Amino acid sequence: MLRAADWSAFTPVRDLPPLRAALVALEQAYGVTEAHRFATARVRAAGAVLRHPDVHPREIHAFALSPCGRYLAVGSHCGDDYERGAALQIWEVPTGRCVNVLDGIRGGVGWPGHPGLLQWSADGRRITAAFDTNVVGAWDPFGESVEPIGAAAVTDGSGRPPGFALAPDGTRAYVHVGFDRQVSGCLVSLTNGWVYDDEIPDGGEHDGGDEQASVLLLADTLPDWAEDASEPRWLYPEQSVWSRDGTRIFARAEAGEVYAIDVDSRQVCWLVDTATPGAAVSWSPDQRLVAYRSQGRLVIAETTTGRPVADLPQRPGAGELRWADRNGLSRLAVVIPAGNEPGARPAVAIYDNGEHRYDLDVALPHIDTAEEDHTAWAWAPDGDRAACLTTGGHIEIWSLAGEPERQHVVDAAEDTSGVLWGADDVIIATGGTTLRFIRPATGDIPGDVTFLRQPPGPRPLELDRVDTGDDIRRDLGLDPTFALTADTWAVAFETGLVIAPETRRDALDKALTWTIDRRHAWPTRWGDLDIVPDAATAADRLGPPLAPYLDRFRGRPAPATTPWPPPNTATLEDLYRVALESVRHLAAGWHTIVSENLMVAALLRARRGEATGALELVAAIPIDNLRVTAAKRVERLLAAASGNPGTVQQVEPASRLGQAEINSLAEAYATLQALPRSQRRHPTRQLIDQAARCRHISAVLDLLARLPDDDFNDRPGAAFRALRTLTRENAS
């Protein structure tokens, strides 16, 4: 049947899901067959590329499930290199596989400790995130460009990202910023390229002042009925959501007000003062109702008018408020977590249309919804079931269609911090370094990944301390190197060529996937992967555009692990040379600190009578007056040294290290190597300091080569600091 099909008419969005489902059923009955291999060849011919999920430089902290529940977006903050950025990643929930990665978003996605900074449009065609510290931008989640479709930098240089609410069509956002108005915030376009706050004229509108402007400020003052009787009221939003019909924005302010903004007039249309700053607020899926805590009570109100429809007794310790829609029935779960401050008994209270049904005797961990995207409670899309993460580290699945019944208990990964319930009855356990996709009825795990693992030994594309994977990522968008297991590196090129031990083929199927249109996954076990042992072999198999990147591996052995620290054969002269070369190209902004350090180094050499070296350092000082001052001081020191040879401090040879010192350096180095590469910069500087105190100059030089030299605080600063330590000089 497959051979007879018209594959020229193959449309992935329409044809791939049913074809994949049919082949899954076939595999369950007969194993992998010729039909699987034939279909895989056709899918690859249609443009499928091989992908791995190991792309994040730091822990993932931003999570957003698409409205259809079929896709999960996750984001990470940047590591040591802000300009390198971090990744926005899209997962296909039913398969538990990563289908798209936008790696290189400047500054990373969102910000740790700030939830809600990753949002889907109602139609799932746009994904919006805070990035570059304080900018809000929109992307095509299934596209390939790391540059946003539109972005708004309207926070006047804030050091933290703003909250925002995305319009249902994804073309605009309400951004929580000040602008010295009683109704804080502005409406920004996310389709007109970049817009900035300094472009907003006094009238509060940018680009012509009409309703299609790129930036629209909200009302300057509140209506009289919304004012506080004692003093002017200022609304600074902490949480907001844009209504599905696009006409209103619902928000919660810092001081505890819950209110609605009319989008056309940009004015508050109702407001309730809860008198409970920081209390949890949650809007129902249909946005017909809002639940909030007010002075110890739980209130459920209409979103059209703000009028309460249920004023419920106090629930001490209540934390998360989670809504579900069950065929028009609005269901609310109120989580009283373990360890709550009032000391109330942990439970989950269930309300249907504002009426209390029952309490579940279950203890869930406390999750600060003001700081985390994780949730301890997740409703199933049908509203009849729910999953919850318990304090015991398990995920319990409850049936709540009638009387409550615990149906299943499944294990969570060690660092699981929350749960989500997506399409096709798949539960997602979310953590900082793990994602696990679970089918609760069977316990099957279609996807299970651990991020930030660092297997021992060199990476397969590393040669002479240069990792070709970094070059491929810079030019082509994705580093092909990944951690296959806790002790094995591997490389996956999008063509299907893989560098890995042949014995790890089963592990490759769990880690890799073919992706089609950057939105559908296809199992690698249904077709053969081309597995090679090393980069030199891969160089002979690859064609353009990848082949040129691997040319330098031809005829070279695979990188091997070398003992550390290296033999201590280097001298202070070597270190002076590295320090000098590290600052020669630094920009003018660094000239003052560079001049000061070069002067100190020149004086160190002059005290030792090393005239040539001292004068070379003086000549490199970029600031004229400091160079003149340094020359005079060096001249005096050299004259004193020549007149009294006994004052010259000879360079001490490297001391012989004891085994305890060598072991200490080796242990510290092993700890460093266990960190993700994106998080090693500061620990490397610390280890350089330790090596300098031990007078292990070769170790210092080895580590300096691993630091970038475009910032004085990295290689240059560490080199000059090591010089002062090795010559026993005060840092001043």
DSSP labels for 157-213? S-SSPPPEEE-TTSSEEEE---TT-SB--EEEESSSEEEEGGG--TTSEESTTSTT-
497-499 and 530-532 beta bridge pairing = parallel
Which residues lie below 8 Å from residue 100, measured CB to CB, with a gap of 6+? Answer: 89, 90, 141, 142, 143, 144, 515, 518, 519
Question: 614 and 687 share a domain?
Answer: yes
**CATH, residue 403:** 2.130.10.10
Tell whether the model's pLDDT for residue 650 goes beyond 50.
no
Whether residue 176 lies inside any domain: the answer is no
Whether residue 298 lies inside any domain: the answer is no
Question: 487 and 349 share a domain?
Answer: no
Work out how many domains the chain is built from and give that number.
4
* CA within 13 Å, CB half, 659: 0
What is residue 198's predicted lDDT score, i.e. its pLDDT? 72
Whether residue 631 lies inside any domain: the answer is yes
Q: Which two tokens stand for residue 395?
A: 């995920």
User: What letter does residue 596 receive in the DSSP assignment?
Assistant: H
Rounded to an integer, what distance in angstroms lies between the CA atom of residue 690 and that of residue 235? 51
Q: Where are the beta strands (DSSP E) in 624-675?
A: none
- Alpha-carbon separation of residue 706 from 139, 490, 556 (angstroms): 34, 22, 22
Crossing angle for the helix pair 715-726 and 681-693, to the nearest 10 degrees = 20
Which residue type, as a one-letter code, is found at position 214? Answer: S
| pLDDT band at residue 136 using 50, 70 and 90 as cut-offs | very high
Tell whether the model's pLDDT for residue 646 goes beyond 50.
no
Question: 338 and 443 share a domain?
Answer: yes
Tell whether the model's pLDDT for residue 208 goes beyond 50.
no
Question: 480 and 542 share a domain?
Answer: yes
Whether residue 325 lies inside any domain: the answer is yes
User: What letter does residue 698 receive in the DSSP assignment?
Assistant: H
Rounded to an integer, what distance in angstroms lies between the CA atom of residue 411 and that of residue 396? 9
Q: Is 464 exposed, middle or buried (0-12, 13-18, 19+ CB in 10 A)?
A: exposed
Q: Which two tokens stand for residue 188?
A: 């920004």
| pLDDT band at residue 203 using 50, 70 and 90 as cut-offs | low
Taking phi over 0 as left and psi of -120 to 50 as alpha, with beta for the rest, 729 belongs to: beta
Q: Which residue has the tokens 């009825």?
A: 441
Q: Which of 703, 730, 700, 717 is nearest to 583 (CA)?
A: 717
Which residues lie below 8 Å from residue 640, measured CB to CB, with a gap of 6+? Answer: 647
What is residue 279's predicted lDDT score, i.e. its pLDDT? 81
Residue-wise pLDDT tens digits, 252-299 = 999 999 999 999 999 999 999 998 888 889 999 999 999 998 888 899
Question: 424 and 332 share a domain?
Answer: yes
Q: Which two tokens stand for residue 541?
A: 């198999």
What domain range is 35 assigned to? 7-46
**Residue burial 486-506, b: 16+ Cβ < 10 Å; e: rest:** eebbbbbbbebbbbbeeebee
Rounded to an integer, what distance in angstroms lies between the CA atom of residue 702 and that of residue 698? 6
What is residue 732's predicted lDDT score, i.e. its pLDDT? 34
Considering Cα of 717, then 719, then 720, then 722, what sign does the dihedral take?
positive
For 83, other C-beta atoms within 10 Å of its C-beta total: 9
DSSP reduced 3-state for 511: helix
What is residue 464's predicted lDDT score, i.e. its pLDDT? 85
Question: 580 and 716 share a domain?
Answer: yes
Q: Which of 213, 190, 200 is nearest to 136 (CA)?
A: 190
| pLDDT band at residue 578 using 50, 70 and 90 as cut-offs | very high
Question: 446 and 324 share a domain?
Answer: yes
Whether residue 654 lies inside any domain: the answer is yes
Tell whether the model's pLDDT for residue 211 goes beyond 70.
no
Highest mean pLDDT pick, 184-198, 306-320, 639-653, 693-707: 693-707
Question: 440 and 487 share a domain?
Answer: no
Residue-wise pLDDT tens digits, 7-27 = 999 999 999 999 999 999 999
Residue of 157 and 722 predicted with greater confidence = 722
Rounded to an integer, what distance in angstroms lies between the CA atom of residue 328 and that of residue 322? 16
- Paired with 62 in beta bridges are 75
What is residue 730's predicted lDDT score, i.e. its pLDDT? 40
Whether residue 30 lies inside any domain: the answer is yes
Tell whether the model's pLDDT for residue 579 goes beyond 60.
yes
| Average pLDDT score over the chain | 92
What is residue 199's predicted lDDT score, i.e. its pLDDT? 65
Tell whether the model's pLDDT for residue 706 goes beyond 50.
yes
What is residue 207's predicted lDDT score, i.e. its pLDDT? 46
447-450 and 462-463 beta bridge pairing = unpaired
Q: Which two tokens stand for residue 633?
A: 């001081």
Question: 676 and 701 share a domain?
Answer: yes
Question: 431 and 326 share a domain?
Answer: yes
What is residue 212's predicted lDDT score, i.e. its pLDDT? 57
Average pLDDT over residues 159-171: 96
What is residue 647's predicted lDDT score, i.e. its pLDDT? 46
Question: 607 and 661 share a domain?
Answer: yes
What is residue 480's predicted lDDT score, i.e. its pLDDT? 97
Question: 478 and 547 share a domain?
Answer: yes
DSSP reduced 3-state for 378: strand
Residue-wise pLDDT tens digits, 474-515 = 999 999 999 999 999 999 999 999 999 999 988 999 999 999
Reported as type and span, the H/E element at residue 79 is: none
Rg (C-alpha) for the chain, rounded Å, is 30
Tell whether the model's pLDDT for residue 553 goes beyond 90.
yes
Q: Are 216 and 204 in contact (CB under 8 A)?
A: yes
Residue-wise pLDDT tens digits, 220-254 = 999 999 887 678 899 999 999 999 999 999 999 99
